[in-house]
Amino acid sequence: MTQNLPAIFGKYRLEQFLGGGMSHVYRATDTVLNRTVCVKILTVEGAADRDTRERFLAEAKMSAALVHDNVIRIFDYGEEQGRPFIVMEFLTGSDLRKLVDSGAAGGFETRLKYAWQAARALEYVHSQGVVHRDIKPDNLHVDGEGRVRLMDFGVAKTADLNLTKTGFQVGTPYYMAPEQVMGDAPTPRVDIYAFGILLFEIFTGRRAVQGTTIEQLFYQILHAPLDLTPLEAAGVPRKYIDLIARMTAKDPNARPESFSEVVAALEAPGPPSATAAQAVERQQAAARGISGKYVVAGLMGLVLVLGGTFIYLTLTNKNKIQDAVKQMKINPPVLEDAAGAMVLVRGGPFLAGAEKQQKTLGDFYIDRTEVTVGAYRAYCERAGRPKPAGLEAAQPELPVTGVTILEAKDFCAAAGKRLPTALEWEKEGRGPMGYKYPWGDEENAERTAVGGKPMAPAASLTASTSPFGAIGMSGNVWEWVDQPQAPSPQAIASFAALLNPPPTASEPWYQAKGGSHLRPLPDAVLWEFISLPARFSAPDIGFRCAKDPAPVQ
């Protein structure tokens, strides 16, 4: 249809393709009322997907009850030629994103007027029981007379209607509230948080949350305090800086209770111009002439698919995004998946080795505990792999042992992960300051399983938690790391009686780190290692996996 314009679609003549993804958006003419409108049509692929189709239609029905000066208007919705569609007012002007990025948003007072109008729209939307959940500059349109329209309710939620699947995160990651990242039920205060982030961006011209990966963004949202200095540098009055600080509080209860409070704090700079107000009245009068199935409404985004939204409604991205959401299900820096929880190790310099030499690594994830018997047993059953001796009888919460490094690598690969390098493993265990043990430099054998103690369940050694949140990196079991290590003559001689055929210096050898429950505490110093043949396994050698962060899409 995009290639054969103009085209007739019901009573609408489609004249210009404006863009789209799972929905196509057109400038069109209503041939009955002879006015220019915007028509959004679900694609054939979208219409064939039941979830996408239902969300599209539910979005239109929900928005049909909303009418406000600062909310885009819907004139019609339904199905034509088997394709769900929504018809809305055709807007001229630009979205606030383009105005801010281009420097055309005007001075502080003009930007404050835009913010006040947007806050009024959200005050009204919330009064109708709707949570928008995707507040960002792209979803605020400013016409030539300076009137702001709130757009894009594709991920909105009412008390009795959820337009996305249970457990899905929705919204654009830069503006997501901590509770959205956590997957909690959305409340109006997620919009208050996002609006605070938006105010920061309107007033400074830069994003409040910075990052190049989803994990970095989520970590900052959940744990890093918002840096307010760019607001001060931009000369924003203190009362608005304090308002933004309150709106973006990590604790929802510390934020303003409602948008009425936000509107009042923005000090109502005045209504739109008389010309704009008159235009609204004319549009409302025209809309009241529509009868039957044509619904008068306010709402809906002009370009749902044009703003780079981090939304889970497209067929092409659905599986990929589902996987990412599943991994970020619990509070970063912990990432959860079927193989267990992982902790985020922030990139940057750290002190490594006995001499504490400065090294630098990027961000990475590492398993919070050693891979357990239960996880490895399930993997063997799924993959049809032989199980290590004694695996069936072992307690499922214990670390898995008796695994060669090649078997460990196979497990990690099957989980979409890899073994950590020696430096990654050491940084996780020691933290950026280069501690001797995960808990610090204190010689305290009571914190872990060493010196002949029984092997402990992988998640039980919380007294040995590292600065980044991993458990049991000193003691309990040695851990394979992906670090080739040339053996010493003594190591070759030591393993000659343990392996048949005896090992040689030319075959692969790798490091294992962290000591074990059979060894004294000094063997658990985090920069130390032992050199082992790749084909060797033992009842006190296990492993944990690592993973690189996923890029933001």
Mean pLDDT within 127-155: 87
Tell me the C-alpha distance between 409 and 415, whole Å.
10
Question: In degrees rounded to 5, what are phi and psi of residue 454?
Answer: -65, 150
Looking at the chain, the whole-number percentage of residues with pLDDT higher than 90 is: 58
Q: Quick one: pLDDT band at residue 153, thresholds 50, 70, 90?
A: low
Mean pLDDT within 195-216: 88
- The residue from 257, 288, 319 where one domain ends is 319
Indicate if 218 and 343 belong to the same structural domain: no
Closest CA to 33 of 285, 280, 299: 285
Inform me whether the pLDDT recorded for 264 exceeds 60.
yes
Tell me the C-alpha distance between 207 and 217, whole Å.
11
Indicate if 270 and 179 belong to the same structural domain: yes
Mean pLDDT within 266-284: 42
Indicate if 377 and 391 belong to the same structural domain: yes
Closest CA to 199 of 255, 274, 153: 255
User: How far from 15 is each of 1, 10, 203, CA to CA, in Å?
Assistant: 11, 13, 37
The 3-state DSSP class for residue 459 equals: coil
As for how many domains the chain has, the answer is: 3
Tell me the C-alpha distance between 537 and 535, whole Å.
7
Model pLDDT, residue 270: 44
Model pLDDT, residue 446: 94
Mean pLDDT within 544-551: 87
Inform me whether the pLDDT recorded for 330 exceeds 50.
no
Given the residues 76, 134, 337, 482, the one annotated as active site: 134
Q: Quick one: pLDDT band at residue 358, thresholds 50, 70, 90?
A: confident
Q: Quick one: pLDDT band at residue 159, thresholds 50, 70, 90?
A: very low
In a domain, 20, yes or no: yes
Indicate if 432 and 449 belong to the same structural domain: yes
Model pLDDT, residue 142: 95
306 versus 243: which is more confidently predicted? 243
Indicate if 73 and 103 belong to the same structural domain: no
In a domain, 327, yes or no: no
In a domain, 1, yes or no: no
405 versus 92: which is more confidently predicted? 405
Tell me the C-alpha distance between 54 and 138, whole Å.
24
Residue 134 among the catalytic residues: yes
Indicate if 314 and 340 belong to the same structural domain: no
Task: Say which CATH number the domain at 160 has.
Answer: 1.10.510.10
- pLDDT tens digits, one per residue of 514-527: 999 999 999 999 99
Among 79-83, 351-355, 419-423, which range has the highest average pLDDT? 419-423
- Residue 30 tokens, joined: 């209503």
Span of 103-112, 265-274, 335-344, 523-532 with lowest mean pLDDT = 265-274
Tell me the C-alpha distance between 141 and 71, whole Å.
9
Q: Quick one: pLDDT band at residue 185, thresholds 50, 70, 90?
A: confident
- pLDDT tens digits, one per residue of 276-310: 333 333 333 333 332 222 222 222 232 222 222 33
Span of 47-61, 310-324, 337-351, 431-445 with lowest mean pLDDT = 310-324
- pLDDT tens digits, one per residue of 496-509: 988 999 999 999 99
Indicate if 72 and 100 belong to the same structural domain: no
Indicate if 124 and 213 belong to the same structural domain: yes
Structural domain for 447, as ranges: 333-547
Indicate if 385 and 521 belong to the same structural domain: yes
Indicate if 271 and 290 belong to the same structural domain: no
Q: Quick one: pLDDT band at residue 70, thresholds 50, 70, 90?
A: very high
CB of 418 within 8 A of CB of 406? no
In a domain, 123, yes or no: yes
497 by Cβ neighbours in 10 Å (0-12 / 13-18 / 19+) ranks as: exposed
Start-to-end CA distance of the chain, whole Å, equals 28
Q: Quick one: pLDDT band at residue 198, thresholds 50, 70, 90?
A: very high
Closest CA to 169 of 127, 222, 230: 222
In a domain, 158, yes or no: yes
Inform me whether the pLDDT recorded for 265 exceeds 90.
yes
Indicate if 231 and 133 belong to the same structural domain: yes
Inform me whether the pLDDT recorded for 528 exceeds 80.
yes
Indicate if 426 and 506 belong to the same structural domain: yes
Task: Say which CATH number the domain at 373 has.
Answer: 3.90.1580.10
In a domain, 40, yes or no: yes
- In angstroms and rounded to an integer, the radius of gyration of the C-alpha atoms of the chain is 29
- 336 strand-pairing partners: 341
In a domain, 552, yes or no: no
Task: Say which CATH number the domain at 78 has.
Answer: 3.30.200.20
Span of 21-25, 43-47, 168-172, 312-316 with lowest mean pLDDT = 312-316
Model pLDDT, residue 152: 77
The structure tokens 């504490």 sit at 356
In a domain, 2, yes or no: no
